[in-house]
Amino acid sequence: MPEESEAERSEHVDDVGMSGGSPDNNTGNSEHVDDVGMSGGSPDRKQLWHGRFAGGPSEALQQLNDSLPFDQRMFREDIAGSRAHVTMLESVGILAAAERDGILSALDVVEEEIASGTFEWAASDEDIHTAVERRTTELEPAGAKMHTGRSRNDQVATDVRLWTLQAIDEITDLVRALQWTLLSQAEAAGDAYLPGYTHLQQAQPVALAHHLLAHGWMLNRDVDRLADARRRTDVSVLGAGALAGSSLPLDPSISQKELGFSGLFDNSLDAVADRDFVADTLYALTMIGVHLSRIGEELIIWASTEFGFVTLDDAFSTGSSMMPQKKNPDIAELARGKGGRLIGNLTGFLASVKGLPLTYNKDMQEDKEPLFDAVDTVRLTLLALDGMISTTTFNTERMAEQANSPYAAATDLAEYLVANGMAFRDAHAVVGEHVRHALEGQGTLVDLVSADERLGEEAAAILQPGVSVTRRTTHGGGSPEAVAAQLERFRTAIS
């Protein structure tokens, strides 16, 4: 391996964060591209499987094959898996207590080195599993026994499961935080109301709190989906070996307990081949992205001059390089745009897994980048949108002005007639005719309604500003009292 490649490898370490890590640290590979040789490679690169091979790997193979640039962010999970494995090996008598302790101490050093950025990556470190085992063995000769009864196939599945569990917990907390922001804005909205829309045409006035909580309930289903994905992720697969278990007396239930997994695999083939939990998590994340894109779109519309329903805080808006008057809702637009990227991660991953024969195939290495990218994308989008929504000013006078069109109360008029005994279809026609006549200029809707003996003054009062919104008092409806009950249900749901 040429020396400069080693140096480039050591750059990766700077990018390793304590949690999460940097989404950019998978760019390292492309720097090597000019060096790719068609043949040759590095005769001195000693692979894990070097015994079987006479020559070293080609450069092209290494660059395509290596996953270290992106899987190094699972170093804590990899080390946790190794701790559990050597603890199990000692429990069943395969390792001596002193060997286990030596390996555990070396693993502590390796974790510290990687976390602090002093770890020296070697050219032969094709992935995080290889790197951790190599360095552990350098520090402690008994490290040569740590891979007993284990394969990178059950090891990587374990690492990804552990990483996914913490990611699900982190994203769940951020979704909850956004729900609390929506709740506090809904409470602050009081009795403010705005037009509700279908087809983006004014439909019926609704409380602003009602509208904000609609987004909050969507996010509640996301939390539920994350919990569902978590349940299927929370299964230990360490001890499945490469695919078929082991002839050694391993006890996978020990490593399961060590790692705190709730479940244990039933079938070693399925254990190493299963990536359903990645798909489940990507789907849950994608749905969050889809929901955030809908919130984003509403904020974009509401912030337009034509609507003017919200004024965005400067800290969460951008300006134009040319047009001095501009204030742009970039965060909301990115929230809308990132949905596409998340859908790409989900569908790309599913396409990689589709049709794979049992058990492990290298295609499955393609699970990590979409998963990491989806988590990074959703994390950032949630944080930015939360900040944007919590600092937004709702222009409630402007909203009311738009919602006060008497036409928006037409359905309430029809329901008034129904309450007085008319069939709904007939009531719809009566009110529809008044609307048409008003639009044709035969009089204001209020005058036409007042003059109709089936409706009269009492019905015309429904057309007054702010009245119709108070009339839809049914469960989950848009009136202030129905919304007050809903606010309590929402608070309970997210507490």
Active site residues: 199, 320
Residue (99 or 159) nearer to ligand ARG, CB: 159
Contact status: 273 vs ligand ARG (CB under 6 A): no
For every residue of 32-89, which 3-state class applies, written as one string? CHHHCCCCCCCCCCCCCCHHHCCCCCCHHHHHHHCCHHHHHHHHHHHHHHHHHHHHHH
**What residue type is assigned to position 120 of the chain?**
E
Write the Ramachandran bin of 236: left for phi over 0, alpha for psi from -120 to 50, otherwise beta.
beta
Interface size with ligand ARG, residues (CB under 6 A): 9
- Are residues 425 and 419 in contact, defined by beta-carbon separation less than 8 angstroms? no
d(CA 297, CA 299): 5
Q: At what angle do helices 208-233 and 276-303 cross, to 10 degrees?
A: 170
Residue (59 or 71) nearer to ligand ARG, CB: 71
CB of 327 to ligand ARG, least distance (A): 45
CB of 154 to ligand ARG, least distance (A): 9
Residue 202 gets which letter from DSSP?
E
Site pattern 68..87 for ligand ARG (x: CB under 6 A): ---x----------------
Residue (128 or 409) nearer to ligand ARG, CB: 128
Stretch that binds ligand ARG, among 97-105, 108-116, 357-365, 419-427 (CB under 6 A): 357-365
Contact status: 208 vs ligand ARG (CB under 6 A): no
Note every long-range contact of 98-106, with CB atoms under 8 Å and residues 24 or more positions apart, other chains counting: 98/142, 99/142, 99/145, 102/140, 102/141, 102/142, 102/143, 103/136, 103/140, 103/142, 103/143, 103/145, 103/146, 105/140, 106/135, 106/136, 106/137, 106/139, 106/140, 106/143
Q: How far is CA 473 from the centre of its chain?
A: 35
Out of 25, 82, 153, 404, point to the residue binding ligand ARG (CB under 6 A). Answer: 153
Helix or strand holding residue 235 (H, E):
strand 235-236
CB of 330 to ligand ARG, least distance (A): 35
Contact status: 127 vs ligand ARG (CB under 6 A): yes
CB of 152 to ligand ARG, least distance (A): 4
Q: For residue 303, give the 3-state DSSP assignment.
A: helix
CB of 48 to ligand ARG, least distance (A): 9
d(CA 490, CA 495): 9
Contact status: 364 vs ligand ARG (CB under 6 A): yes
**What residue type is assigned to position 350 of the chain?**
L
Contact status: 125 vs ligand ARG (CB under 6 A): no
Contact status: 158 vs ligand ARG (CB under 6 A): no
Compute the residue count for the chain: 495
Contact status: 156 vs ligand ARG (CB under 6 A): yes
Helix, strand and coil in the chain, % to nearest 5: 65, 5, 30
What token pair was written down for 293? 């894109």
Stretch that binds ligand ARG, among 133-141, 344-352, 358-366, 375-383 (CB under 6 A): 358-366
Contact status: 275 vs ligand ARG (CB under 6 A): no
CB of 150 to ligand ARG, least distance (A): 11
Contact status: 106 vs ligand ARG (CB under 6 A): no
Residue (69 or 196) nearer to ligand ARG, CB: 69
Q: For residue 204, give the 3-state DSSP assignment.
A: strand
Out of 9, 152, 215, 471, point to the residue binding ligand ARG (CB under 6 A). Answer: 152
- Are residues 106 and 61 in contact, defined by beta-carbon separation less than 8 angstroms? no
Out of 42, 63, 67, 204, point to the residue binding ligand ARG (CB under 6 A). Answer: 67
Contact status: 26 vs ligand ARG (CB under 6 A): no
- As a dihedral over the C-alpha atoms of residue 136, residue 142, residue 144, residue 150, rounded to 10 degrees, the angle is -90
Q: How far is CA 137 from the centre of its chain?
A: 37
Best CA proximity match to 237, nearest among 188, 271, 199, 202: 271
Q: Give the phi and the psi of residue 204 in degrees, each rounded to 5.
A: -140, 145
Contact status: 63 vs ligand ARG (CB under 6 A): no
Stretch that binds ligand ARG, among 152-160, 195-203, 316-324, 473-481 (CB under 6 A): 152-160
Stretch that binds ligand ARG, among 27-35, 195-203, 292-300, 360-368 (CB under 6 A): 360-368
Contact status: 25 vs ligand ARG (CB under 6 A): no
Residue (61 or 451) nearer to ligand ARG, CB: 61
Residue (286 or 365) nearer to ligand ARG, CB: 365
Contact status: 164 vs ligand ARG (CB under 6 A): no
Residue (107 or 273) nearer to ligand ARG, CB: 273
CB of 187 to ligand ARG, least distance (A): 47
Contact status: 408 vs ligand ARG (CB under 6 A): no
- Are residues 409 and 193 in contact, defined by beta-carbon separation less than 8 angstroms? no
Contact status: 360 vs ligand ARG (CB under 6 A): yes
Q: How far is CA 457 from the centre of its chain?
A: 53
Residues forming contacts to ligand ARG in the complex (CB under 6 A) are 67, 71, 127, 152-153, 156, 360, 364-365
